[in-house]
């Protein structure tokens, strides 16, 4: 249980610290998944922390090399890395793409 809490706080810290820097092209919303159980089923939200991207009410998928293109379900520790991902998603979504390629490969051969 302690590892899950550390994991959640790491991602929360990154999200809070980049919110001001990305405010011109992204907004961060925190959702308690116990309040919206239908959303959990629709997007398979079971992890302690999950980051998803939406643009104009449309879910934007991102290919991170992990096989799961719907969400980021691990804690990113590098703030600039997260900003780069958000910028990439924003640019791709503005062009009308439903699937965006991440700036870095997060497959299991790399440590993330």
Q: In the chain, what are the domains?
A: 2-101 (3.40.30.10)
> Quick check: helix, strand or coil at residue 83?
helix
How many C-beta neighbours within 10 Å does residue 74 have?
A: 18
59 has which bridge partners? 54
Residue 62: its H or E element: strand 58-63
pLDDT in tens, 87-100: 999 999 999 988 89
Q: How far apart are the first and last CA of the chain?
A: 20
- Check pLDDT > 90 for residue 53: yes
Share of the chain above pLDDT 90, in %: 39
pTM of the model: 0.84
Check if the beta carbon of residue 105 is closer than 8 Å to that of residue 85: no
**How confident is residue 108, by pLDDT bands cut at 50, 70 and 90?**
low
pLDDT on residue 66: 84
Check if the beta carbon of residue 94 is closer than 8 Å to that of residue 56: no
């Amino acid at each position: 249980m302690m590892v899950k809490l550390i994991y959640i706080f790491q991602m929360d810290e990154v999200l809070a610290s980049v919110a001001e820097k990305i405010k011109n092209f992204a907004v961060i919303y925190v959702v308690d998944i116990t309040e919206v159980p239908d959303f959990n089923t629709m997007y398979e939200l079971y992890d302690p922390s999950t980051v998803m991207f939406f643009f104009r009410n449309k879910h934007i998928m991102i290919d991170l090399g992990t096989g799961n293109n719907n969400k980021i379900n691990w804690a990113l520790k590098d703030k600039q890395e997260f900003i780069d991902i958000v910028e990439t998603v924003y640019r791709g979504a503005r062009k009308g793409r439903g699937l965006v390629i991440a700036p870095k490969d997060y497959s299991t051969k790399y440590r993330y």
